[in-house]
Amino acid sequence: MPDIKVTPLGAGQDVGRSCILVSIGGKNIMLDCGMHMGYNDDRRFPDFSYVTQNGRLTEFLDCVIISHFHLDHCGALPYMSEMVGYDGPIYMTHPTKAICPILLEDFRKITVDKKGETNFFTSQMIKDCMKKVVPLNLHQTVQVDEELEIKAYYAGHVLGAAMFQIKVGLESVVYTGDYNMTPDRHLGAAWIDKCRPDILISESTYATTIRDSKRCRERDFLKKVHETVERGGKVLIPVFALGRAQELCILLETFWERMNLKAPIYFSTGLTEKANHYYKLFITWTNQKIRKTFVQRNMFEFKHIKAFDRSYADNPGPMVVFATPGMLHAGQSLQIFKKWAGNEKNMLIMPGYCVQGTVGHKILNGQKKLEMEGRATLEVKLQVEYMSFSAHADAKGIMQLIRMAEPRNMLLVHGEAKKMEFLKDKIEQEFSISCYMPANGETTTVVTNPSVPVDISLNLLKREMALGGPLPDAKRPRTMHGTLIMKDNSLRLVSPEQALKELGLSEHQLRFTCRVQLHDPHSDTDTLGRIYTHLKSVLKSYSIQHVPDGTVIVESIVIKVTASAEEPNLKVVLLSWSYQDEELGSFLSTLLKKGLPS
């Protein structure tokens, strides 16, 4: 029985280092290749030794697919391709291909240059890795090889994020990556057609959350920022350079303009302008409103938002700073945080999810004292607000996607086990489909039941459709008969006659002749006429002919009457039929033996 196997190497009942292996129709595909922000040791990367203990991965994988540029989805890519070894194709969308190497380089710098780690991938490795990337477009069907095809769908979430359909023959899997079912200020909503995959592998970051309307959250956010700035406080918003940052910038920019505010807004790292440039060039990936108006006004050209310099952090007076990275685990956002943490007038707004182990996660959990390097402790006095702006589907969105794609099975990854459990129950209840949530290294096997494609001769099909009529009768289904010819991997269904002809076989005629004696005191012709009338009344739905040459023909059964030589009243009825009319022939001979009704 054919089956599909799914094994998460990362993101199984966890958020971080997404990496999922899928075996489908003899093909092996790696979905995402991310890193875990919460770890600094081996657990940072997926455990590729699961694929092979020694040697390169190339011969074990048919392709690698990256859903979007976030590091928990692509951070281990150069490690996997250059240090473990993989030379096959890596698929991602154009924006992902453009932005991914920049974030990888950033990540590398922080890890190697700042933290001094060795045995890490190098800049050259990132470049070599990116050479293996094959960019693809939305909805383009990419034939990886003869049998394996993949197709990308819009996922929202971040610029260039995509969901992927993986298909071999009639079996298919859809992997969502991270997605968002509600359009935001700069991106559209995820969409997929009714592709009915055997398995839908979905993220479940917000498995138990149903978020209030985006408008409320936005108003709340602006209110908090405004209040802090009014009382002279500083607002720190840790973000990733691309994605949420642009959405919040658009939000603040329009608010500042409307309210005529003067407090400066800064954006840290030199990436800002570059990042905005990506948005301008990949404007076709943003939402409809931005796309429509970009010629008149490009939303990514900000008037109020300026580049940040390290020295500004000590400036007196209010300000708003967007700083990277988003989980406060390193870099500039952490530095600024350390400076501002002691003042209760200031505010920290966390607009996205923080994985376990990061400073962001600790603060959000209410920790008021943080241990820093060199045993110093940092007291957290500033106000902390968590506002979920990260563009993940919530429970409602996940259900909505299931309704769109109509999968036969569901598999959850990229979420916390407890929340998954809840969502799993809900999905199984509402859709009556199986839902799986394997842990890392655990394999889920789903048995598929694909139908068998066959070439049917058009003559046979048309004949059958004509006979069946436009609307099939559910109570009396018509049975179609054909011969399936199996030859050199081809399966063809043809009519039996055509099969004989094609195979160069001659038909073997099997005939039966049966004589039935009847007492009937009439002339031969009259007897035949009486037989005709009798059969007419019994066999309503058959074609019955009375041929002048002295025969009655029922379908292809021939009936003749001769008088017995000795006894004129004893008639001999001769029935002759072929095997194809066996049932009717048998029926008729039995019927006639009973005599004719008087």
Partner 1 sequence: MKLYCLSGHPTLPCNVLKFKSTTIMLDCGLDTTAALYFLPLPLVHSPRLSKLPGWVSKDGAINLEKELKECSGRVFVDSQPEFCLPEKELLDLSTIDVILISNYHCMMALPYITEHTGFTGAVYATEPTLQIGRLLMEELVTFMERVPKAQAATCWKNKEIQRLLPGPLKDAVDVWSWRKCYSVQEVNSALSKVQLVGYSQKVELFGAVQVTPLSSGYSLGSSNWIIQSHYEKVSYVSGSSLLTTHPQPMEQSSLKNSDVLILTGLTQIPTANPDGMLGEFCSNLAMTIRAGGNVLVPCYSSGVIYDLLECLYQFMDSANLGSTPFYFISPVANSSLEFSQIFAEWLCQNKQSKVYLPEPPFPHAELIQTNKLKHYPSIHGDFSSEFRQPCVVFTGHPSLRFGDVVHFMELWGKSSLNTIIFTEPDFSYLDALAPYQPLAMKCVYCPIDTRLNFHQVSKLLKDIQPLHVVCPEPYTQPPPAQPHRSDLMLELQPPPMAYRRCSVLGLPFRRRYERIHLLPELARSLVPSEIKAGVSVATVSAVLQSKDNKHVLQPAPKPTPVPPSKKRKRVTEEPPESLNPKPLLSGAVPLEPFLAMLHKNGITEVKVEETADGHILHLQTEDVLIQLEEDATHIICDNNEPLRTALRDLVLRFLQKL
In this complex, which beta carbon is closest to partner 1, that of residue 97 or of residue 424?
A: 97
CB of 465 to partner 1, least distance (A): 6
Q: Which tokens is 310 given?
A: 């390290």
CB of 349 to partner 1, least distance (A): 28
Q: Is 203 a catalytic residue?
A: yes
Alpha helices in 153-262 (DSSP H): 214-230, 244-259
CB of 167 to partner 1, least distance (A): 11
Q: What's the CA gap between 399 and 431, in Å, rounded?
A: 9
Q: Which tokens is 490 given?
A: 């081809």
In this complex, which beta carbon is closest to partner 1, that of residue 303 or of residue 508?
A: 508
CB of 152 within 8 A of CB of 163?
yes
In this complex, which beta carbon is closest to partner 1, that of residue 425 or of residue 455?
A: 455
CB of 542 to partner 1, least distance (A): 6
What type of residue is 63?
Answer: C
Inter-CA distances, 286 with 137, 229, 424, Å = 14, 30, 32
In this complex, which beta carbon is closest to partner 1, that of residue 452 or of residue 565?
A: 452
Q: What is the H or E stretch that residue 403 is in?
A: helix 395-405
- Strands 377-379, 369-371: parallel, antiparallel or unpaired by DSSP? antiparallel
CB of 254 to partner 1, least distance (A): 22
In this complex, which beta carbon is closest to partner 1, that of residue 11 or of residue 460?
A: 460
Q: What's the CA gap between 470 and 252, in Å, rounded?
A: 61
Q: Which of helix, strand or coil describes residue 137?
A: coil
Preceding amide of 325 cis, omega within 30: yes
CA angle 301, 304, 310 (to 5 degrees): 105
Q: Which tokens is 185 given?
A: 């200020």
Torsion of CA 94, 95, 98, 101, to 10 degrees: -110
Q: Which of helix, strand or coil describes residue 81?
A: helix
Q: What is the DSSP letter of 291?
A: H
CB of 485 to partner 1, least distance (A): 5
Helices 244-259 and 214-230: angle between axes, nearest 10 degrees:
60
Residue linked to tokens 């068998």: 452
Sheet holding 199-203, edge to edge: 141-143, 148-154, 162-168, 171-175, 199-203, 409-413, 434-436
In this complex, which beta carbon is closest to partner 1, that of residue 95 or of residue 264?
A: 95
Which residue out of 82, 171, 203, 253 is catalytically annotated?
A: 203
Q: What's the CA gap between 520 and 65, in Å, rounded?
A: 85
What type of residue is 208?
Answer: T
In this complex, which beta carbon is closest to partner 1, that of residue 128 or of residue 464?
A: 464
Q: What is the DSSP letter of 206?
A: B
Residue linked to tokens 């094994």: 7
CB of 451 to partner 1, least distance (A): 4
CB of 20 within 8 A of CB of 32?
yes
Q: Which tokens is 538 given?
A: 């019994």
CB of 311 to partner 1, least distance (A): 28
CB of 580 to partner 1, least distance (A): 5
In this complex, which beta carbon is closest to partner 1, that of residue 496 or of residue 595?
A: 496
In this complex, which beta carbon is closest to partner 1, that of residue 281 or of residue 372?
A: 281
C-alpha 72, offset from chain centre: 19
In this complex, which beta carbon is closest to partner 1, that of residue 330 or of residue 573?
A: 573
Q: Which of helix, strand or coil describes residue 135?
A: strand
Q: What's the CA gap between 484 and 47, in Å, rounded?
A: 48
CB of 186 to partner 1, least distance (A): 15
Q: How many CB atoms lie within 10 A of CB 214?
A: 15
Q: What's the CA gap between 361 and 327, in Å, rounded?
A: 7
* Burial of 437 (C-beta count, 10 Å sphere; 0-12/13-18/19+): buried
In this complex, which beta carbon is closest to partner 1, that of residue 130 or of residue 263?
A: 130
CA atoms within 13 A on the CB side of 359: 26
Phi, psi at residue 310, to the nearest 5°? -50, -35
Please name which of 282, 200, 215, 213 lies closest in space to residue 246, comparing C-alpha atoms.
Answer: 282
CB of 534 to partner 1, least distance (A): 12
The catalytic residue positions are 203
